[in-house]
């Protein structure tokens, strides 16, 4: 979608940033060079009268993005998960960005539900409430199923939101190209990468079938977790623009007075929310990446209920093992091992000195372990760790940034429930259990089993691969006799059904 509207939108964006006082905040956070600063001010200052005023009670960046509308609010939310890009100060401002907009009429939501699900609304829901929550992309209604009277939550995308986002994202790409043009040396900005990341996140959130799928996968992973439950997805009443979940009935996790009045143990809740997050991140590699109080409730039976699955984090198995070893090393205060893990994983370039890196890590860990239990923060540790590793040439890993950001949020939730919680005491058994299962002898047997299964899939191709290898050998000018090693590889390949071994033999011998 190209056209003059992109230029007009950028001018209004610049004007709003100037009018709200956010322009310099944003430019400083991105360490913008002089030429880019000149261009940005040139697009904003002469047209301040075109800019939106926003809410003067908000911080400048939050005020500007909220005034500019849904796409900018969502952009701010995504940037809040990337302090490596925007810096800690701006990320902190954006983290508290109010994702609240005026709701659209109930009648429009009902019409949208009927269009998407292809049925008259009364046949699906006997009751359909006014909006109970309205955000940048969608809003939520409480409804009652006509078939059995169950209460559900119905999430409906805003009318025309896809077109509005597409138009704004198109303008964001133009802005990124301008940054590339006027600041070619500012590699830290990575403008196109930032916009592409945002574009991917938004495309996912604009298809509620993907959020329904995330909720379903998360449910499968956690169905046996004691004291934790998720509202079930109602697939027959969900589609691209509508998602229906079971109603989460409980006390908001941010209301300590209500939690106390209901007789729940806040100390246990604080420990549980932290323990569950670590279990999901380490055990499953798939975790709720937006676990603030607004997305958590306490059920009448004391279970924690999580909802809103628009932002989920994923960590592959190898990275989980590395992360667990790093945490475990810090828990044991074995800084040399933590340093070695970074080198073994390739996180820190091999030309760096491992002993010097270990001493830098000690400077990170020891002050934290000298703190009172109420001050010890795993999120702070990870933040300091990223600062040190950056000095030693470690490249940014987006999945670990999201993990660290979520860890900070979860710690805040745990401490709001139990101010004297000892984060390390809670984390230690979870990390130790994962280490035993994933890095010891049991893990080796499991890895070998998985490798054998992968190799076995080459079994049907084994005769053809052997024939191909033999023909290739026979047409060489001076054919080499098959060595003992080659024969051994072929025997092993036959025994395990592993054509992969034959390929390796062909390459190596």
Strand order in the sheet with 251-252: 228-229, 304-306, 296-298, 251-252
| Beta pairing, strands 138-145 & 151-157 | antiparallel
Which residue reads 């003067």 in tokens? 56
pLDDT at 279: 92
pLDDT at 37: 82
pLDDT at 494: 45
More confident site: 183 or 136: 136
Residue 498: left (phi > 0), alpha (psi -120 to 50), or beta? beta
pLDDT at 491: 45
Query: What is the pTM assigned to this prediction?
Result: 0.73
pLDDT at 83: 64
Q: Please write the tens of the pLDDT for every residue from 364-415.
A: 777 766 665 566 666 666 666 667 777 787 766 666 667 777 887 888 888 8
pLDDT at 315: 87
Identify the bridge partners of residue 127 per DSSP, sorted by sequence position.
144
pLDDT at 300: 93
The answer, yes or no, to whether residue 329 has pLDDT greater than 70, is: yes
Q: What is the mean pLDDT of residues 217-231?
A: 95
Question: Which residues, 6+ apart, have CB-to-CB distance to 27 below 8 Å?
Answer: 36, 37, 40
Whether 290 sits among the annotated catalytic residues: the reply is yes
Q: Which of 222, 312, 417 is nearest to 426 (CA)?
A: 417
The answer, yes or no, to whether residue 205 has pLDDT greater than 50, is: yes
pLDDT at 497: 44
Query: Among 140-144, 169-173, 452-456, which stretch is predicted with the lowest mean pLDDT?
Result: 452-456
pLDDT at 509: 42
State the architecture of 105-157+207-247 in CATH terms. 2-Layer Sandwich (3.30)
Q: Considering the chain, what is the average pLDDT of its residues?
A: 80
The answer, yes or no, to whether residue 449 has pLDDT greater than 60, is: yes
pLDDT band with cut points at 50, 70 and 90 for residue 151: very high
pLDDT at 498: 45
Contact (Cβ atoms closer than 8 angstroms) between residue 152 and residue 144 = yes
Query: Among 250-254, 304-308, 477-481, which stretch is predicted with the lowest mean pLDDT?
Result: 477-481
Query: Among 246-250, 294-298, 330-334, which stretch is predicted with the lowest mean pLDDT?
Result: 330-334
Residue 168, number of CB atoms within 10 A of its CB: 21
pLDDT at 382: 65
Q: Please write the tens of the pLDDT for every residue from 460-498.
A: 766 776 777 777 766 655 555 555 555 544 444 444 444
Residue 147 is given by DSSP the state T
Q: What is the C-alpha to C-alpha distance for residues 418 and 429, in angstroms, rounded to an integer?
A: 19
Q: Token digits for 204?
A: 């996912």
Residue 453, number of CB atoms within 10 A of its CB: 10
Q: What is the mean pLDDT of residues 108-134?
A: 95
Q: Please write the tens of the pLDDT for every residue from 190-203.
A: 677 777 777 877 88
Q: Helix, strand or coil for residue 447?
A: helix
Domains of the chain by residue range? 4-100+162-205, 105-157+207-247, 249-439, 454-508
pLDDT at 492: 45
Sign of CA dihedral 107, 108, 111, 117: negative
pLDDT band with cut points at 50, 70 and 90 for residue 302: very high
The answer, yes or no, to whether residue 459 has pLDDT greater than 80, is: no
Q: What is the mean pLDDT of residues 99-106?
A: 80
More confident site: 323 or 257: 257
Q: Token digits for 48?
A: 């301040």
Residue 33, number of CB atoms within 10 A of its CB: 16
Q: Which of 152, 116, 347 is nearest to 242 (CA)?
A: 116
The answer, yes or no, to whether residue 451 has pLDDT greater than 70, is: no
Q: What is the C-alpha to C-alpha distance for residues 328 and 428, in angstroms, rounded to an integer?
A: 8
| Residue 352: burial class (beta carbons within 10 Å; 0-12, 13-18, 19+) | middle
Write down the catalytic residue from 168, 290, 308, 506.
290
Separation in Å, CA 164 to CA 11, 87, 93, 135, 452: 17, 28, 25, 15, 50
Q: Token digits for 414?
A: 């745990």
Q: Token digits for 317?
A: 């198995």
Q: What angle do CA 154, 155, 157 make, to 5 degrees?
A: 140
The answer, yes or no, to whether residue 188 has pLDDT greater than 60, is: no
Torsion of CA 41, 43, 48, 49, to 10 degrees: 170
Q: What is the mean pLDDT of residues 80-90?
A: 67
pLDDT at 89: 72
């Amino acid at each position: 979608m190209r056209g003059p509207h992109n230029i007009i939108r950028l001018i209004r964006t610049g004007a709003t940033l100037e009018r709200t006082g956010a322009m310099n905040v944003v430019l400083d956070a991105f360490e913008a060079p002089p030429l880019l600063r000149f261009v940005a001010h040139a697009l904003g200052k002469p047209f301040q009268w075109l800019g939106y005023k926003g809410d003067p009670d908000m911080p400048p960046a939050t005020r500007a993005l909220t005034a500019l509308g849904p796409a900018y609010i969502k952009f701010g939310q995504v940037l809040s998960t990337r302090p490596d890009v925007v810096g800690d100060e701006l990320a902190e401002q954006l983290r508290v960005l109010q994702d609240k907009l005026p709701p659209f009429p109930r009648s429009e939501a009902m019409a949208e539900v009927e269009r998407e699900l292809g049925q008259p609304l009364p046949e699906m829901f006997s009751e359909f409430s006014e909006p109970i929550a309205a955000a940048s992309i969608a809003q939520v209604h409480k409804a009652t199923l006509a078939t059995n009277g169950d209460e559900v939550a119905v999430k409906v995308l805003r009318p025309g939101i896809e077109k509005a986002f597409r138009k704004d994202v198109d303008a964001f790409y133009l802005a990124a190209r301008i940054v590339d043009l006027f600041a070619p040396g500012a590699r830290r900005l990575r403008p196109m990468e930032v916009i592409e990341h945002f574009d991917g996140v938004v495309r996912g959130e604009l298809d509620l079938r993907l959020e329904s799928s995330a909720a379903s996968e998360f449910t499968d992973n956690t169905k046996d977790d004691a004291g934790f439950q998720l509202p079930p997805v109602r697939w027959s009443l969900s589609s691209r623009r509508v998602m229906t979940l079971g109603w989460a009935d409980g006390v908001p996790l941010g209301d300590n007075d209500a939690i106390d009045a209901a007789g729940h143990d806040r100390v246990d809740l604080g420990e549980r929310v932290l323990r569950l997050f670590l279990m999901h991140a380490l055990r499953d590699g798939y975790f709720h990446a937006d676990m603030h109080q607004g997305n958590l409730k306490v059920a009448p039976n004391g279970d924690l209920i999580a909802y809103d699955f628009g932002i989920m984090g994923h960590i592959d198995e190898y990275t989980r093992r590395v992360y667990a070893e790093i945490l475990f090393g810090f828990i044991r205060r074995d800084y040399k091992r933590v340093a070695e893990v970074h080198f073994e994983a390739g996180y820190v370039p091999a030309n760096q000195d491992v002993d010097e890196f270990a001493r830098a890590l000690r400077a990170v860990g020891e002050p934290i372990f000298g703190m009172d239990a109420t001050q010890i923060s795993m999120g702070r540790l990870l933040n300091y760790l990223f600062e040190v590793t950056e000095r030693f040439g470690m490249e940014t890993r987006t999945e670990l940034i999201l993990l660290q950001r979520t860890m900070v949020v979860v710690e805040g939730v745990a401490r709001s429930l139990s101010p004297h919680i000892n984060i390390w005491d809670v984390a230690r058994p979870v990390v130790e259990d994962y280490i035993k299962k994933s890095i010891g002898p049991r893990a080796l047997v499991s890895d070998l089993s998985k490798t054998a299964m992968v190799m076995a899939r080459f079994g049907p191709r084994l005769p053809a691969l052997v024939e191909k290898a033999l023909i290739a050998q026979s047409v060489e000018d001076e054919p080499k006799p098959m060595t003992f090693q080659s024969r051994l590889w072929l025997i092993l390949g036959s025994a395990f059904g592993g054509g992969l071994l034959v390929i390796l033999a062909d390459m190596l011998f």
